[in-house]
Amino acid sequence: MSAHATLSASGAYRWIACPGSIRASEGVQDTTSSYAAEGTAAHALAELCLKENRSAASCVGRKVEGSTVTDEMAEAVQIYLDTIQEIYGDGHSKLLFVEQRFDLSWLFPGMFGTNDCCVIDVATRTLYVLDYKHGAGVPVEVETNAQLLYYGLGALHDAPCEIRKVVIIVVQPRAPHGDGPVRQADMLSNSLRAWGTDVLLPAAMATQKEGAPLHAGKHCRFCKVLATCGEAARDVQEKAGCAFGGTPVNPQSLSPEELSIRLHAAEIIGAWSKAVQAHAQHVAETGGAIPGFKLVPKRSIRKWVNEAQALDVLTGTLGEEAYAPRKLKSVAQAEKACKKAGVALNEALWDKPDNGFNLVPVSDARREAAAPVDQAFDVIDDSLDFLT
């Protein structure tokens, strides 16, 4: 099991903004989820492919870190692998480091981490620091990204040659972004060192002070003490009071400005509510009683103990009926297979339907779309009449 730094790179965006979150989190166990497990498996798949010089598709169906590699996972990871290959090329005058551990204790005690991948171009004195994000939920920005800068600082310090330029790159294939799945930011090495001494070091020192302050904000979303943090609760209460008051209103009666206030509040309240639910689940599963609630078993689906053995038995009994109907490849998979075979996929065979819209904050990096005029004044839902 790998060690995790208290002042970690992945949590830097949070503890830089909220120094008190470090002491508040002491002794609180990290929780995991199916999404986190899938992300761990995707990273392990990428490392395996890089070390064995193979494609991600060649591992479909294989178990990696307890998860089965799917076509979707392989397709996403391959974008990351292709990005590395584009930078590394034939390897001439370049050095490749995969899952490289680095130590920042020279800056502040207890700071260390492991970078997904970095490439050093000795000829141009350029350091490329890559971070793979498998998550499909929140698009990650690369500009002034504390986690990536933290990794870059560690890689820069350990570089075996003088570095003049640093390129930090985030690869996130499954979360739509206006700049595409691969995004990068360039800086001079001296600028990155200055960030380390002017921003990262003071923030790390602040976390160790007695009574380090707590600050609520967007960085609270993935904090493991969100559900029990008094500052977060006060922030949620304040925003809920300002946005919703004491009386529910029909959303159709609200002006665009009033809707905007409530949407911003709902985002924060929603994250806090999910954290409270997760904490309550943990309390219940560890023997605590939650008045008015009880634990019930999740729905369970039968699985084969041994698929090979089951196949032998069933084919002997059912023949071809033992197999489920064959499934057609997805358009993306078929296009890749056609390209490998040296033919082009006939575009008349596929279509890309309009799936509607998502309403997101203007800070979201995706490009804005114009809503259809004929839908602009649709009634939301008559079932909301009870609120008026």
If one counts every other C-beta atom within 10 angstroms of the C-beta of residue 289, the result is 9
Residue ranges per domain, the chain? 12-207, 218-285
**CA–CA dist 100, 155 (Å, integer):** 8
Please give the share of the chain, as a percent, with pLDDT higher than 90: 41
DSSP 304: -
pLDDT confidence tier of residue 242, bands split at 50, 70 and 90 = low
**CA–CA dist 91, 119 (Å, integer):** 10
**CA–CA dist 113, 346 (Å, integer):** 47
Give the burial class of 128: count Cβ atoms within 10 A of its Cβ; 0-12 exposed, 13-18 middle, 19 or more buried: buried
Which amino acid is residue 203, in one-letter code?
A
Q: For 138-158, what is the mean pLDDT?
A: 92
**Bridge partners for 121 per DSSP:** 94, 126
Range in 94-108, 205-219, 305-319 the model is least confident about:
305-319
**CA–CA dist 22, 223 (Å, integer):** 10
**CA–CA dist 300, 138 (Å, integer):** 30
Do 269 and 246 meet the contact criterion of CB atoms below 8 Å apart? no
On whether the pTM is more than 0.75, the answer is no
> Could you report the per-residue pLDDT of 108-121, keeping only the tens digit for each?
998 999 999 999 99
**Bridge partners for 184 per DSSP:** 169
User: Which are the contacts of 249, defined by CB distance < 8 A and separation ≥ 6?
Assistant: 387, 388
pLDDT score of 383 more than 60: no
Q: Which CATH class is domain 12-207?
A: alpha beta
Which of 140-154, 239-253, 263-277, 304-318 ranks highest by mean pLDDT? Answer: 140-154
**N- to C-terminal Cα distance for the chain?**
56
**CA–CA dist 354, 214 (Å, integer):** 44
pLDDT score of 279 more than 50: yes
Averaged pLDDT of the chain = 85
Please give the torsion angle defined by the CA atoms of residues 95, 98, 101 and 103, in that order, rounded to the nearest 10 degrees.
Answer: 40
Which amino acid is residue 29, in one-letter code?
Q
pLDDT confidence tier of residue 386, bands split at 50, 70 and 90 = very low
> Could you report the per-residue pLDDT of 293-320, keeping only the tens digit for each?
888 888 888 888 888 888 888 888 888 7
CA angle (198, 200, 202) in 5-degree steps: 65
pLDDT computed for residue 40 by the predictor: 92
Element (H, E) at 171: strand 165-171
pLDDT computed for residue 378 by the predictor: 46
**CA nearest neighbour of 50 among 140, 124, 116:** 116
pLDDT confidence tier of residue 385, bands split at 50, 70 and 90 = very low
